[in-house]
Copies of this chain bind each other. A is one copy, B any other.
């Protein structure tokens, strides 16, 4: 465990400046995003001798007025620099222009989250995603809404989700298959990405995906296209209905970025239902990102600030947890963690658990 965010001491002037950077951050967020989207950063990167606003406006086909507003805000947040009436791209600007993760984060936070975050406070108070309701309709949670979200929100959501989980699969698979399980249950399998990877990795294991009917419809198409309809089946179960027992006799249970979609009580209930379906030889693998288990503070920053999405947009009750939280939930569900693989994929931790003796 590694609690991040040990911030340096600031003097009063530095603290005042830092506070204004937060207070005006909706402005800088939008200005920087537009500078990237509309080619201002790209054009500055291609003109290393710098560009006047007038030249840049001509090059990117944008009103000179707008180019000035965007550039001046970007200057204030160090995405561009300014010298002798010309603008230049900075290192931060280069990251925004070239780094896939940064762009995925920007798209996700603008297309999915920006408007709904206005209702973060109401979402907390009502324990329901008011931001989702105000922007995308009166769904109980975002999960059944995913396949109906308008573009670009839908693509931005799935790209974000897959980017952060897919990277961990390759490293996780050898651990999951070290016991050569004949059967695997993929709880919250979503569109089937992991199960298809698993079917490719091991040609004997029979796989069952558990999820909501809306997700399973997409999963079935993907499974069929991958040619695995004989080895991957699906069972629609609402994991929030804790009266519904899980099917027994699976040697391995897998949950990837699934438990962070639930509040603490539901996580414990889901883990208990999993434990009830397990035998002494069964293994449960939980792949998650924890904000106190990151190698880089910038990664911890992204993880911890995904929580407000869960509050305002996803369900009003879940968040990104700490490793110690999850060990505590496991313990309460009668499960014992026997192995912890850290720092795989994009800052993931893989926990392997069995029934407590």
Contact = CB atoms under 8 A, between A and B. Distances in A.
B115 A79 contact: no
Interface hub of A92, A312, A319 (most chain B Cβ within 10 A): A92
Contacts of A82: 3, 5
A30 B117 contact: yes
B26 A25 contact: yes
Interface stretch (A61-69, A218-226, A332-340): A61-69
Interface in A288-336: 291, 296-298, 300-302, 304-312, 317, 319-320
Interface string A78-111: 1101100000001110111001001001100110
A130 to B, nearest CB: 12
A interface residue count range (under 10 / 10 to 19 / 20 to 34 / 35 or more): 35 or more
B28 A95 contact: no
A242 interface: no
Contacts of A302: 20, 23-24
A305 B3 contact: no
Contact of A20 (B22, B24, B298, B310): B298
A82 to B, nearest CB: 6
A301 B76 contact: yes
A99 to B, nearest CB: 7
Chain A, interface SS category: helix
A128 to B, nearest CB: 12
Given A96-B19, A301-B17, A27 B113 contact: yes
Contacts of A19: 92, 95-96, 99, 102
Contact of A24 (B31, B37, B76, B301): B301
Nearest to A64: B264
A170 interface: no
A69 B308 contact: yes
Contacts of A178: none
A117 B297 CA distance: 29
A77 B106 CA distance: 18
Contact of A63 (B79, B99, B127, B296): B127
B22 A32 contact: yes
B78 A7 contact: yes
A300 B63 CA distance: 24
A250 interface: no
B34 A121 contact: yes
B29 A26 contact: yes
B15 A22 contact: no
Given A96-B19, A291-B72, A26 B125 contact: no
A76 B117 CA distance: 17
Nearest to A75: B5
Contacts of A7: 78, 81, 90
Contacts of A309: 27
Contacts of A37: 121
Given A15-B91, A18-B78, A63-B124, 6 more contacts: A5-B78, A11-B91, A12-B95, A27-B305, A62-B125, A69-B311
18 contacts: A6-B81, A7-B81, A12-B95, A19-B99, A19-B102, A22-B25, A22-B32, A25-B29, A27-B305, A27-B309, A28-B305, A30-B120, A30-B308, A31-B308, A65-B317, A69-B124, A72-B304, A73-B304
